[in-house]
Amino acid sequence: MLALALSLGDPAGIGPELIAACWAERQAADLPPFFVVGGARLLVAAAATRGIRLPVATITDPAQAAWCFADALPVLGELDGDYRPGQPDAAGARLALASLEQATALVTRQTAAALVTGPIAKAELAQVGFAFPGQTEFVAHACGVAADDAVMMLAGPALRTVPLTVHCALSSVPALLSVALIERRATIVAWAMQRDFGIAAPRLAICGLNPHAGEDGRMGDEEIRIIAPAIAALRAAGWDATGPHPADALFTPRARATYDVAIAMYHDQALIPLKALDFDQGVNVTLGLPVVRTSPDHGTAFGIAGRNQADPGATFAAIRMAAQLATRRAQA
């Protein structure tokens, strides 16, 4: 298998030090070969804050990564910058964007097996011309996929969950929901469960929007007007879809045993249970793309960057999941 491509993320955040930690623990964590796009000097400095002496091998071709991975962290290209943990600035945002652009291009050209993106600061990127709500939408655009067809799933050992609406105000959610949106995105999730996760008959549990899933219209009628008809359409298409489920009861251990993925109506409805259960092992994986893209499910954490406090577990998990999905696709 080809090596994985990693983008740096914001160099002032915890991304660079966690990449270094992953390489340092590559054997104990059983990680596949990967390379980083840019930041050789910066990564060495970030590694030092964790007491890691990081050997770096500058490469000019992704194919060289597997050859040197055992002895040094492969870094592709000459992009670099100063390491100033906890001090985001425009120069760092430009470096993060350039790394993301180049890493994405390598994966879309099939010169890397999958893309693992480091955490970014959306506000910082916006100031240097980044015109997308997040990395999910950027990668979808690079792949020629409509933003609505790129679905964000959060996955950990205890739970997989999908928010149908993502980075928008909570007050906007009811107007954004439609039968067509739920049916289309849930279908993409079901296809991905089959193709990427090897689940032949995926079980989809679909949340209600309102408390108690609306309680027969007493607390809102979106369940009656929108969510239940979408579930009926999914079932008519042959998918095992249930709901609308009250979200407050859907994430208990007993409930989680009854489904393969929970589909939520908005961001926090999906991310709060995932982070409560699997914070240090949570992975953001984009479904519906022709390439594999994952990311650790945490942010830049500027407040602890460079202090050797960040847990690398989610980055380990993102790298492992990217390799697993890429391998399954290659074998299909």
Asked if 158 contacts 148 with a C-beta cutoff of 8 angstroms, the reply is no
* DSSP conformation letters of 186-225: HHHHHHHHHHTT--SS-EEEEE-SSGGGGTTTBTBSHIII
Q: Is 212 annotated as a binding residue?
A: yes
Taking CA atoms, 221 is separated from 67, 147, 213, 245, 264, in Å, by 59, 27, 9, 14, 16
Between the alpha carbon of residue 208 and those of residues 167, 189, 292, the distances in Å are 19, 17, 29
Phi, psi of 200 (to 5 degrees): -65, -40
Which helix H or strand E contains 184, and what residues bound it? helix 179-195
Is 136 annotated to bind ligand?
yes
- Amino acid letter for position 242: T
- Among 297, 325, 326, 286, CA closest to 149: 286
Is 284 annotated among the ligand-binding residues?
Answer: yes
**Count of alpha carbons within 13 angstroms of residue 42, beta-carbon side:** 30
Degrees to nearest 5, angle at CA 136 with 204 and 33: 95
- 167 annotated to a ligand binding site: yes
- What are the tokens at 307? 């202090």
Residue 298 known to bind ligand: no
Asked if residue 293 belongs to a known ligand binding site, the reply is yes
Annotated binding site for a divalent metal cation: 167, 212, 267
Residues that constitute the known binding site for substrate: 136, 275, 284, 293
Binding site: what residues are annotated?
A: 136, 167, 212, 267, 275, 284, 293
